[in-house]
Structures are given as structure tokens and as C-alpha cells.
Amino acid sequence: MALLPFNISRKKKIKVIIVGGGYAGLAALTNLLQFSPETDVTLIDPHEHHLKITHLHETFRYPLTDLLVPFADICKRFECRFIQANVDFDPDTLSSYQDKRQLIVNEEALDFDYLIIATGCNPIDTENENAKETLSLSDFIQTSGSDLLTQRLNISSSPECVISIVGGGATGIQFLFEIHQFLNRIKRKAKLQLIHSGEHVLNQFPDGFGVYAESRMHELDIAFYPNTHYREQQSGKILLTEKETKNQYERPSDLTLLFLGKKRQNILTANAFGQITVDKMPLPNIFTAGDCSYYQSLGSNAVSAQSAVRKGKLIARNILRHAGFPGLLEPYLHQNLGYIVNLGASDAVGWLVAEGNLVTGIPALAIKEIVEVQYDLLLAGIDTYLV
């Protein structure tokens, strides 16, 4: 059970700067202002909108705009300030920020009592000369899946286009099934094939995930090439390498979608309370959360929205504790409570409470719907998270 920030405030109003408006940054913002409405919060992000990135595969059904929440609207709702800017960090600048308690953004000096870094991490992209025949997660952040795929299909002269999806993790699998249903809706003939470096899909989850997803792929006649590395998409073909034998070969492919995971570079190490450590020493007034953070604690460091939200909520409480009396901080102990992977609009696979508790179909979809509503309520200022 999350502990409430019992503290006696030493300072009536504290200044907090949050860099990064993803799941972790907004969880921290909403919780800070829930427990201490007088807190002076400034949110900094290079984009104009918060993107519910875990829903990107659904843009084959809904407009991309449904997933965008303007930061201006969020800050108006919570009465805080938004600045659109990029901010870079390294150990030397972090130590300097701790000493000076000041951040320079767009040539403006911003004083703070606490700084939160929640900048996330970027999708892994590969350079490819045939950009017209490849797509990555970054492309879907800019344009809806339905528009992107329609554009590429219209370019192809093949009567039955072959579409390759590279990556059998949660993102690749969710896009794979959405694309299959989208092609059926628009009555476009196309052959789907999944390329994956592992023996089974969804191999970061309990075995039942992969078994269920692969059985559905077989029913839908989606070709599967396990233990296979992607090399390159060329005109009309994809170049592949067998993992064990190193044998190189090619398959027909008119379009390749690359879902190679996230690039976790410049990870910020934090102690169990979320305070960034530099040379193994904590910076008391600088916290981190989300995909850019690694906590030295018993809690989950999974690259997921669930962990990001829980870390964001924790550091909000710990900032208020640190600013008050007696100043005792809460360690990060959160463990994942479940995970759901969509297999199109009408099916899903996941686990709840215990990894052996597999749920599929409508029950899994219902669980995911509840979780999504819970996050939407948080952005509206209603915190229903109990653990």
C-alpha cells in the first residue's frame, strides 16, 4: 500500500521543475498538486502534447489526436506553468543544478527547490536507404497507423502486398494484429509475416503469452520466422539471417515495420527513494522517474507505463516528505500487478496479480479498459490508484 506523505511543511510553498511530460512526469505533477495544491510546478517538454504512447497501435482504428493531450490544457487544469523546450543532462550539470538550484531554459533562469527528470527513452531506429519501404515507431508518433499504411499500400503495385513486422515483443505483436484487422476492414489483400530474434513471441512474459499469441497467428495465417535477425529491407525483399546457422537469405517484402524496442541510453541511477546518485552519492533535491531511471531498490524497473506512473507518484510523495518534517522518505517497492497485450480490437492476453494467472479474450480486454480509465482519471485530477 502506498504511504501518504505525512509531513509537517517547513516551507509554505516549494518550487518544483518537472522535465518530461510522459507517464512518470505527469504522475508526479498530479500527485504533487493533489497533496500540496500550493506547490509551484513548472513542466518542461520539447513537445506540445502528452502522448499516450502505449495506445499507438490503436491508431488503425482511431485518430492519432485521440491520444494527444495538450500540455497547455493540463497545466491550465492544474494551475501550473508549461515551457516547451529541450533540456539535456550529464553528471556534471546535475551536480551543478543541485548546488545552484537553478535551471537555464530558453535563456530564462528558473529557480527550484526540487528537480524531477522524467525524460523517458527513445525507440530504437535503424538507418535505411529505402525509407519508403520501412516504418518505425517514430513514424507512428507523427501520423496515424491507418494513414501511414494506406499511403504505403497505395504506392505498392503488387496485387498482394507482403508486409513484414520485425520484433515479437508487446509493441510488435499489438501492431501485427491491428494491421491484420485493418487490412480486413479496408478489404485489401496482403500477406503478413513476423520476424523475431527469439524462439517465441512475447518471451519477456510468462510462457502462456507466447503460446496464445502464436496460436492466434496460426489461425490467421500469419507467417512466423523465429530465431531470425533482420538485416535490411530492399526493394521488394527483406534480408534476413538465421540466428543459429548464420545463414543469410531473403523473403519477399514490400514494406517492413521495425519494432526493435527502446534505446536505454544515459540512464539515471537513483537510490531507493528516487534521488539521483552521482558517484554513488545522492543528490537530495534531484529526483528521476520513468524509463530513463534505474532505481537501486526492490521495486520493478520495467520499461512500462505502469512502473513509470508508480515511480512518478512515489517521488512526488518523497519530495513533499523531504520538504517537511520529519523528512522520512518512502522506498520504491512496487512490483508489477499485471500486464495486458492487445491482439486486435476484440482479443487480448495478459496476467493479473500473479504471473501464473493468465487471462485472455474479453476478461483481459476489460482489465485493460479499467487500467486505461484509471490513468485518464489521474490526468483529470482524480487519483484512483490504491497500490
Residues 269-318 have pLDDT tens digits of: 999 999 999 999 999 999 999 999 999 999 999 999 999 999 999 999 99
Query: Do both 325 and 211 map to the same domain?
Result: no
Chain mean pLDDT for the chain: 92
For the chain, the domain total comes to: 2
pLDDT at 45: 97
Q: Please, are residues 286 and 98 in contact by the beta-carbon 8 Å criterion?
A: yes
* Percent of the chain's residues with pLDDT above 70: 93
Angle at 353 between CA 347 and CA 358, to 5 degrees: 40
Hey, what's the cell of 151? 499511403
Query: Do both 24 and 50 map to the same domain?
Result: yes
Cα–Cα dist 207/358, whole Å = 10
Q: Is 351 contained in some domain? A: no
Q: Is 276 contained in some domain? A: yes
Residues 218-259 have pLDDT tens digits of: 999 999 999 999 999 999 999 999 999 999 999 999 999 999
Cα–Cα dist 102/97, whole Å = 6
**Residue 174 host element (H or E):** helix 170-185
Query: Do both 22 and 108 map to the same domain?
Result: yes
Query: Do both 141 and 252 map to the same domain?
Result: yes
Q: How far apart are the first and last CA of the chain?
A: 5
Q: Which residues pair with 21 in a beta bridge?
A: none
Q: Is the peptide bond before 5 cis (omega within 30 degrees of 0)?
A: no
This prediction has a pTM of 0.92
User: What Rg do the C-alpha atoms of the chain give, in angstroms?
Assistant: 22
Query: Do both 270 and 287 map to the same domain?
Result: yes
Q: Please, are residues 44 and 67 in contact by the beta-carbon 8 Å criterion?
A: no
Q: Return the CATH number at 221.
A: 3.50.50.60
Query: Do both 184 and 64 map to the same domain?
Result: no
Query: Do both 320 and 257 map to the same domain?
Result: no
Cα–Cα dist 337/271, whole Å = 22
Tell me which of 227, 245, 262 is where a domain ends.
262
Confidence grade of residue 387 (pLDDT, cut at 50, 70, 90): low
Burial label, 348 (beta-carbon count in 10 A; 0-12, 13-18, 19+):
buried
Closest to 148 (Cα-Cα) out of 161, 160, 136, 157: 136
Tell me which of 238, 262, 286 is where a domain ends.
262
Task: Give the range of the structural domain holding residue 53, as residue numbers without chain letter.
Answer: 8-121+264-336
Q: Please, are residues 54 and 357 in contact by the beta-carbon 8 Å criterion?
A: no
Angle at 360 between CA 359 and CA 364, to 5 degrees: 75
pLDDT at 6: 56
Hey, what's the cell of 149? 499504411
Query: Do both 176 and 297 map to the same domain?
Result: no
Confidence grade of residue 5 (pLDDT, cut at 50, 70, 90): low
Query: Do both 32 and 44 map to the same domain?
Result: yes
> Locate cell 520466422: which residue?
225
Query: Do both 82 and 141 map to the same domain?
Result: no
DSSP labels for 295-335? ESSSS---SSHHHHHHHHHHHHHHHHHHHEES-PPPP----
Query: Do both 186 and 223 map to the same domain?
Result: yes
Give every CB contact of residue 129 below 8 A, 6+ residues apart in sequence. none
pLDDT at 1: 41
Cα–Cα dist 354/301, whole Å = 18
Question: Residue 267 pLDDT more than 60?
Answer: yes
pLDDT at 130: 55
Cα–Cα dist 60/182, whole Å = 6
pLDDT at 354: 84
Q: Is 349 contained in some domain? A: no
Q: Is 327 contained in some domain? A: yes
Question: Residue 167 pLDDT more than 90?
Answer: yes
Q: Is 345 contained in some domain? A: no
Q: Is 368 contained in some domain? A: no
- Largest separation between any pair of C-alpha atoms in the chain: 71
Tell me which of 262, 289, 307 is where a domain ends.
262
Q: Is 163 contained in some domain? A: yes
Residues 100-127 have pLDDT tens digits of: 999 999 999 999 999 999 998 876 665 5
Cα–Cα dist 132/267, whole Å = 32
Q: Which residues pair with 325 in a beta bridge?
A: 8
Hey, what's the cell of 57? 497501435
Q: Is 149 contained in some domain? A: yes
Complete edge-to-edge strand list for the sheet that includes strand 293-295: 81-84, 40-45, 15-19, 114-117, 281-288, 275-278, 268-270, 293-295
Query: Do both 99 and 183 map to the same domain?
Result: no
